[in-house]
Amino acid sequence: MKIEAITLREIQMPLVHFFETSFGRTYSRQILLVTVHSEGVDGWGESVVGENPFYSSEWIESAWSTLIHYLIPALLGKRIQSARDVPCLFAKVRGHQMAKAALENAIWEAEALQKKMPLWKLLGGTRAEIPCGVSIGIQDSVEQLLETIEAELAAGYRRIKIKVKPGWDTNVLERIRSRWADITLSCDANSAYTLDQVEHLRKFDQFNLLMIEQPLWNDDIYYHARLQNQLRTAICLDESIVSARSAAFAVETAACRIINVKVGRVGGFTEAIAVHDIAQSHKVPVWCGGMLETGIGRAHNIALSTLPNFSLPGDVSASKRYWKQDIVDPEIEVSREGMIPIGNQPGTGYRVQPEVIEKLTVRKEVLHC
Ligand code: OSB
Ligand code: MG
């Protein structure tokens, strides 16, 4: 494939409802999209960078300049055999996984279109449908949270995950469990606790949670292993897993029993597949995380979730939970059974709507070779 041109853009989209985690509240997203133009097809990619460097050190401005100054020049005008060759071309740049992933994933999509193949098949997927869960942010009141959970269960979602932080954790879990004793429930701390709080974290064990996600520091594995030793509840790592090597470290030291795979956090589909394979070889199940993506990133998450070891419901949910109007057609929909069926169309099966995107664009650069 010859990489002839690359378009970089920023679009702005307000969320239907704010999303709050232990590191802050988001009302509207600034989203970085890339388009790779190659031999008659356009492959799209979405970077999961945030508006601020709070979830990780990357953010929209770091991704934009790293793409312009380093990653796009490493690709423009090159002929590559397949998207799997991309990580090698980016190897000189340390870090910046979310910037790299947007571009690599766009090339995977372009390759699938050129081969007239579904993206999920190109990635090595095997599932005909994927199970879906929801991630519910911190709300203004516990009553509001309970109402939201009720609506999501009625919609068919198979796993409820709530965001927790000190002051919004065991008290809230207690209220949920007294109303729904048996639902599949987990929680995500986004690094809100420290090892001094082991006694408090041990109280989570009484709620029969599927997992507690990233309780400790975002870059830590070792202390999570110490904590896992003292908890009955399975730890799931999210922020700490930035590569296949960190996944190997985590499973070999028993720092977690479950891994959340985010393709953006690990630098693209090639590395995400490697994380999946390492977890599978250690019998550690994985699930696909989300980062409030538009339909472009969401469709990529769906394709990745068809790999065999994605055996737990992911945070991949319907477009309408986030957006008044998504930028793909059809929008992502979830069945009454909480599943997304997988199609056999070439590419993702969700068509990007360039006219809609054009109207939302606040910044754009086209780079030619
Ligand atoms: O930790 O999984 C996370 C959103 C933004 C940043 C981090 C996280 C999240 C979510 C939302 O949990 C998942 C989604 O619904 O996209
Ligand atoms: Mg998380």
Q: Evaluate: CB of 291 within 6 angstroms of ligand 1.
A: yes
Q: Evaluate: CB of 239 within 6 angstroms of ligand 1.
A: no
What pLDDT shows up at residue 369? 87
By C-alpha distance, which of 151, 229, 159 is closest to 188?
Answer: 159
> Which residue has its alpha carbon closest to ligand 1 atom 7?
291
> Which residue has its alpha carbon closest to ligand 1 atom 13?
290
Q: Evaluate: CB of 47 within 6 angstroms of ligand 1.
A: no
Distance 152 CA to ligand 1 centre (A): 16
Query: Tokens 């292993």 identify what position?
Result: 225
The total of other beta-carbon atoms located within 10 Å of residue 116's CB is 9
Distance 351 CA to ligand 2 centre (A): 28
Distance CA 209, CA 176 (A): 11
What pLDDT shows up at residue 303? 98
Distance CA 312, CA 92 (A): 35
> Which residue has its alpha carbon closest to ligand 1 atom 12?
135
The structure's pTM equals: 0.97
Run means of pLDDT, 10 residues per run, the chain, 369 residues: 98 98 96 98 98 97 98 97 97 98 98 98 98 98 98 98 98 98 98 97 98 98 98 98 98 98 98 98 98 98 98 98 98 98 98 97 96
Q: Evaluate: CB of 55 within 6 angstroms of ligand 1.
A: yes
Is 262 among the residues known to form the active site? Answer: yes
Query: 3-state class of 51 per DSSP?
Result: coil
State which ligand 1 atom lies nearest to the alpha carbon of 26.
5
What pLDDT shows up at residue 193? 98
State which ligand 1 atom lies nearest to the alpha carbon of 134.
15
Q: For 290, what's the count of Cα atoms within 13 Å in the CB-facing half-sphere?
A: 25
Distance CA 59, CA 294 (A): 17
Q: Evaluate: CB of 20 within 6 angstroms of ligand 1.
A: no
The ligand placed nearest to the CA atom of residue 323 is 1
Is 163 among the residues known to form the active site? Answer: yes
